[in-house]
Structures are given as C-alpha cells and as structure tokens.
Structure 1
Amino acid sequence: MAIPTVDLSPFFTDGGDDEDEKAAAVEIIKQACSDHGFFQVVNHNVPLDLMSRAMQLSKTFFAFPAEEKLKYSPGAAAPLPAGYSKQPDRSPDKNEYLLMFQPQSGFNVLPSDPPHFRDVLEEMFNHLRQTGEVIEKIVNDCLGLPPGFLKQYNQDRSWDFMAALRYFPATETENIGITEHEDGNCITLVVQDEVGGLEVKNDQNWIPVVPCPGTIVVNLGDVIQVLSNKKFKSATHRVVRSRERSRHSFAFFYTVEGDKWVEPLPEFTRGTGEAAKYRGFMYKDYQALRMRNKTHPPSRPEDAITIAHYAIST
C-alpha cells in the first residue's frame, strides 16, 4: 500500500476544470482520512526553493557544536518552550529540535547563524500555515461541516507552532527515533529530507512514507478524530532511524486555541444515532497531560496519557 498523493493546485487557482479536480481531490483525502489519517500533497503553494533552503540551513545549524546550539536553549519555566532542545540525558540520544511559535514569542529566540536562517524559518512558518488553512477547509468539507466551522477553533492561529528536527543515526541496538504515537492537534504538515524513516500504521502494518522532493506529508491529529467521533482517524505513526545518516525534517502543528472545548459533534452523534465515543475536554488540559508524558515519563509506556484517556467504554 502507498500513501496517496493529492495535487492541491485546483485549490489555489481558478479555472473551468477546477471544480471537478477539487471534487476528485476531496474524495481521495476523505478516503485517506477515514482509513488511516495520512496523505501527501504536491502543488501546495510552499515554494520548493524555500523548502530546500530551509532544509539545508537546518542541517547546517544542527551540525554546529553543542555549545553553539545551546545558546538558543529556552528558559526552563515555559511548558512548551521555543528554542533549541535535545532529548533528556536520561534517554539515549535520538533527536534534537528547534521549536518556534508565532506570534506569542515571535522568532527572536531563533538562531541568527547560519545567516538568514531566522528569516527563512519565519517564511517557512507562514507558508505552511497558509497551506494548513487550505487543508483545514478541505477536511471541513470532507466532514460535511458548515463552511468555516473548523476555523472557529483557532481564529488567529495563535497556538500553531513548528519544529525543525534532527534524528541521530541508529545504534546497533536501537533504531526508533519516535515511538508510535498520534498527534494531539488538528493537522500536522511534515517536510522530510531524502533519508526518510517516517512510517504510518494501517491494519497493524507499518507503511513507509517514501520521501519525494517537493512533497508535504499531512496527518490528522486527535482533535479531528474526537470532533468526527472517530469518523476520521488520528494517524498512528513513528520514525525509524537510519544507521547511515541523520534524518532532518520540519513539522508544522496546525492546532486549536487552548480554551476551546473539544467533544464529538452532534453531526456525528445525535445526527447519526451513534453514541459519543469520547468525553469532552478543554484542549489545554489535554495538552498539559501530554506534556507531562514528556516531562515525567511514566514507568510503563502504556500508562502515558493519549486520547484513549477520554474514550467512553461501550
């Protein structure tokens, strides 16, 4: 099985055949969201030269000595701090990342070296956010929701964030960069380099998401799964590290405001005669529980808080 690839160009242009092409794209995305919550997009309006430049500058930054990168470490007080971070000392080195927000922290905490890195990251952030808005609208239509319904969960996009990541090469005994998980947000956009390693789970099988230049990987998160009462899937995925090289990627997390209430929508419960599969929750409360998984990892991995914490037993 291959992850479907969707051409988004009809959503950025006006033409006579656009409506038919849009309808075809919507059907592919709807099926992918129902099956496993993963698809890829091309002609997504993010300039290819920008993606290439951002990736190269990210690789340059992560190749700097540790003392240089640590100059951009965030303060310890922030729960999800912007800046450079590395895996805690209690774990084997698996990855390091540079986290950025807008507009709360701006981009002033980001590296000014290599030259133009900060500007390129900001441009990358803004383009991915615009693409996220288009995909959100498509998902909104796929679910048959009123126009602009999902947009109301984050009108000013103030909770979105992006990470530049580096996964270190695998060791002889361990090759998992990130264990299998689902994202807690709405929609995640991923730009990966040629090394690959991203895999999506479907029917207990792991499917590699093969890198393709200029392609952006899209996966749904827990918020969409809950709102749709599991009509659409929050994608289960992981990263497997290569023995030969580091893997670099960008992940843009298109999310919702912290004080938004998330629960199965009546269109997918009372409107269909189905029972709600999840209890409602405040988004910031769920994110706090997920963050605790990172800051205070449970002794058993199965005790980590996931969206199953809110699942209603049937």
Structure 2
Amino acid sequence: MEVVAGKPLRVQSLAQAGLANVPSQFIQPPETRPGSWGETPDSRIPVIDLFLFDPQHSDDVRRNLRQYCSEWGAFQVRNHGVPQRLLDDMRRTGLSFFNDCPMSERSKYFCDPNSAASEGYGSRMLVKDDSVLDWRDYFDHHSLPLSRRNPTRWPDFPPNYREVVTEYSDQMNSLAQKLLGLMSKSLGLSSSCIEKAIEEVYQNITISYYPPCPQPELTLGLQAHSDIGAITLLIQDDVGGLQVLKDGKWINVQPLSDAIVVILADQTEIITNGKYRSAEHRAITNANRARLSVATFHEPAKTRKISPAAELLNNNSSLPRYREVVYGEYVSSWYTKGPEGKRNVDALLLVH
C-alpha cells in the first residue's frame, strides 16, 4: 500500500482519484480472478426462518440447521430477534463513517501497519509483503469480552456511532450463543457443547467498505478464505458481492435487508469433527457502486486448545479427524501464511 505523508493511502482514496486501471498490487493471479472458476449467479444460499426461537418450531429449525451446516457451512436467518432498526442503524452508521467523516478525522483511527488484526481503520489484512491486496477498507472493533471493549478507540462520527456498535455487539453475541446451542442440539449433543469448547468468547466487529473498482474482473474485495474462529454473523447492503463456494462453484449471497448471514468458521469444523464445515467465501468488486458489509466474528481466546468434542466422539464411537491446536497458534499461521481457501484447517486433518 502506498504511503502519503507518513500515512497509508486507503483504497477509497484510490477509487476517488479516478484511476482507469488498478495498481498492480491489487491484481489477482489469473486462477483466482472472478470468472476463473465456475460461477452460478442465479443460485442462492439457503434461508432459515428461526421463528423467533419459538419452541414449537425447534424441530424444523434444528433439521434445517443440520442440513445446511453440513452441506453449506453458510446460510441466512430471518426472524432472528435482532431489531430491524438496529440492522439499519448499523449499516447507516458504518456508511456514514466512510462517506461523510472527513479523512482528517478518520486518520486518527489508523491501524498499526505492523500488526495484523489490530483495532482501527485499515486496508491491509495480512503480514506478508508480497500478498495481493484486497480492494477494501475496513474498521475493526474489539468488542468482547468487556475488558477489550473501549469505545473511545472507536469513531464518534456520526454522533451515535459508539452507542450503535455497543448495542449491535450485545445483540450479535446473544444471537451467536443461541445459534451455537441449536447447532449443538442438532447433532444430538447438549446445547452447551460447542460453546463450552470455545469457552470465553472473543468478538470483533469489522465494517468493510468496498469502493467502486475500475477493473472488477481483475480484483477481489476480499480473497477466498474460511474464517478462523467459531461463527461469523454478517449483514450487507443491497449491492451484493459476497459469494460462497459450493461444489466447486461460487454462489451469490443475495442481499436481504432483514436477514443475517451465518458463516461457520474453522474452529466449529474442528469441534464438530468435520460433521459441520466452515464455509469458503470471498467478496467480488463492483465497477459502479460501493458496497458495505458488517461482519461480527466470535472466536476462542488465543490460549484455548481446540479439538473435536469428546461428547461427539463418545456418542458416535468415531475417531478424531483433526489434531488439537492452540487457537493463538492457528491465528498466527493464518495471518502469516495467508488464507488460501481452507488450507489452514485442512492442515490439521489426521490420517487414520
């Protein structure tokens, strides 16, 4: 990323400069560009009605969860209990930071350029200097546990920014707990099984802004990867661009203003011994319109050891398919080597 007056130049600034061609560091190799794999633009990922967690519908919900967690690793949920007002406020607030907040104010929150996943306003995700860059800017918030949550590190523009993010954090955490409980029960386990394996939840909220791109056929807003934690809850605007890999084809995740996208991450795949899979996904760019998404990541503490749940192995008399890993070591490997699809979790597979 170029540096101007000692500060990194954001992708949004490049887009606003009116470039006809993207800089070379954003150009994907031919095999990872949009269109290089099979794509099915008319297909859609599944949508589950949670019926506001009404017990009368719990059997149907668990049945759908079991199918989509094992076959897709990603789906959308409706009637999830998070107020529509809050979803709209979160999108509006995030967009206002990128579009209405002066750069002089935004620059106060620049990430540490030498530290992966540091809190604040950034563009670069990986430590590797030779990695292809994503066509994306973002603001990352450390929101849980409460000892990490310091709203003074977050923007105060627009004026209700910090209040909206705080409420959103709490609502997403509550929904993640409910979904993990239902997922555990859908496997015939105690409702607390997956949550106990994770132990204390660490939550990050990342608002991603994808500016219009002059050459969307050469770039990605976010390269293909599976998330490293336990579960990700995501909302997007009406532009679209999120895709999930299914059976070798990229499937669009249709924008639904009232829905939340659920993406299973690598630690859940390990805990469920591969019965549930993490979803490989990416974001494509758009030549004419900017796009916004808000991803809420839930993951274990860095010191937590993750392995297939003993309850699952005992109940099914099956061997573990994944070796135990310290989560912090897994995170370091991901940020150092790069995501490369699901390569990181696949490296933990045991051969029996």
Identify the TM-score tier after normalising by the shorter chain: 0.7 to 0.9
Asked if the contact 1:186/1:223 (under 8 Å) is kept, the reply is yes
For 1:274-289, list aligned pairs within 5 A.
Answer: 274-289=318-333
In structure 1, the residue matched to 2:50 is: 8
Change (3 A) 1:37 1:248: same
Deviation at 1:98, TM superposition (A): 0.8
Q: Tell which deviates more after alignment, 98-107 or 167-176.
A: 167-176
Correspondence 1:163 to 2:200 = no
Change (3 A) 1:110 1:142: same
Change (3 A) 1:197 1:77: closer
Which residue identity is paired with 1:142? S
Correspondence 1:94 to 2:138 = no
Deviation at 1:135, TM superposition (A): 0.7
1:119-145 Cα distance to aligned partner (Å, 9 max, x none): 111111111111111111111111222
Asked if the contact 1:93/1:168 (under 8 Å) is kept, the reply is no
In structure 2, the residue matched to 1:147 is: 191
Deviation at 1:217, TM superposition (A): 0.4
Deviation at 1:154, TM superposition (A): 4.6
> What is the rounded CA distance, in whole Å, between the counterparts of 2:198 and 2:306 in structure 1?
12
Correspondence 1:307 to 2:345 = yes
Which residue identity is paired with 2:277? K
Asked if the contact 2:306/2:325 (under 8 Å) is kept, the reply is yes
Q: Tell which deviates more after alignment, 221-230 or 75-84.
A: 75-84
Deviation at 1:92, TM superposition (A): 5.0
Asked if the contact 2:134/2:219 (under 8 Å) is kept, the reply is no
Change (3 A) 1:105 1:77: farther
Which residue identity is paired with 1:165? S
> What is the rounded CA distance, in whole Å, between the counterparts of 1:293 and 1:118 in structure 2?
34
Which residue identity is paired with 2:231? I
Deviation at 1:33, TM superposition (A): 0.4
Unaligned runs of 5+ in 2: 1-42
Deviation at 1:65, TM superposition (A): 4.2
1:89-120 Cα distance to aligned partner (Å, 9 max, x none): 97556111111113214222000112111111
Deviation at 1:82, TM superposition (A): 1.3
Deviation at 1:269, TM superposition (A): 4.2
In structure 1, the residue matched to 2:243 is: 199
> What is the rounded CA distance, in whole Å, between the counterparts of 1:271 and 1:141 in structure 2?
13
1:182-226 Cα distance to aligned partner (Å, 9 max, x none): 111111000000011111111111110100111100010111111
> What is the rounded CA distance, in whole Å, between the counterparts of 1:84 and 1:26 in structure 2?
38
Among 228, 252, 262, the residue aligned to 1:184: 228
> What is the rounded CA distance, in whole Å, between the counterparts of 2:115 and 2:152 in structure 1?
16
> What is the rounded CA distance, in whole Å, between the counterparts of 2:288 and 2:210 in structure 1?
12
Deviation at 1:28, TM superposition (A): 0.7
Asked if the contact 1:185/1:253 (under 8 Å) is kept, the reply is yes
Change (3 A) 1:10 1:23: farther
After superposition, the CA RMSD in angstroms is 2.3
Aligned-partner SS, 1:141: helix
> What is the rounded CA distance, in whole Å, between the counterparts of 1:26 and 1:234 in structure 2?
18
1:74-93 Cα distance to aligned partner (Å, 9 max, x none): 44575532111123797556
Aligned-partner SS, 2:75: strand
Correspondence 1:250 to 2:294 = yes
Q: Tell which deviates more after alignment, 167-176 or 134-143.
A: 167-176
Asked if the contact 2:52/2:81 (under 8 Å) is kept, the reply is no
Deviation at 1:293, TM superposition (A): 3.4
Aligned-partner SS, 1:53: helix
For 1:1-314, list aligned pairs within 5 A.
Answer: 1-11=43-53, 18-63=54-99, 64-75=101-112, 79-87=116-124, 94-102=135-143, 103=146, 104-157=148-201, 159-172=202-215, 173-269=217-313, 271-293=315-337, 306-313=344-351
> What is the rounded CA distance, in whole Å, between the counterparts of 1:222 and 1:97 in structure 2?
22
> What is the rounded CA distance, in whole Å, between the counterparts of 1:232 and 1:92 in structure 2?
30
Higher RCO (Cα < 8 Å, 6 or more apart): 2
Q: So what's the TM-score if we normalise by structure 1?
A: 0.88
Which residue identity is paired with 1:37? G
Q: Tell which deviates more after alignment, 73-82 or 213-222.
A: 73-82
Aligned-partner SS, 2:45: coil
Q: How many residues align?
A: 301
> What is the rounded CA distance, in whole Å, between the counterparts of 1:34 and 1:105 in structure 2?
34
In structure 2, the residue matched to 1:14 is: none
Asked if the contact 1:187/1:254 (under 8 Å) is kept, the reply is yes
Unaligned runs of 5+ in 1: 12-17
Aligned-partner SS, 2:295: strand
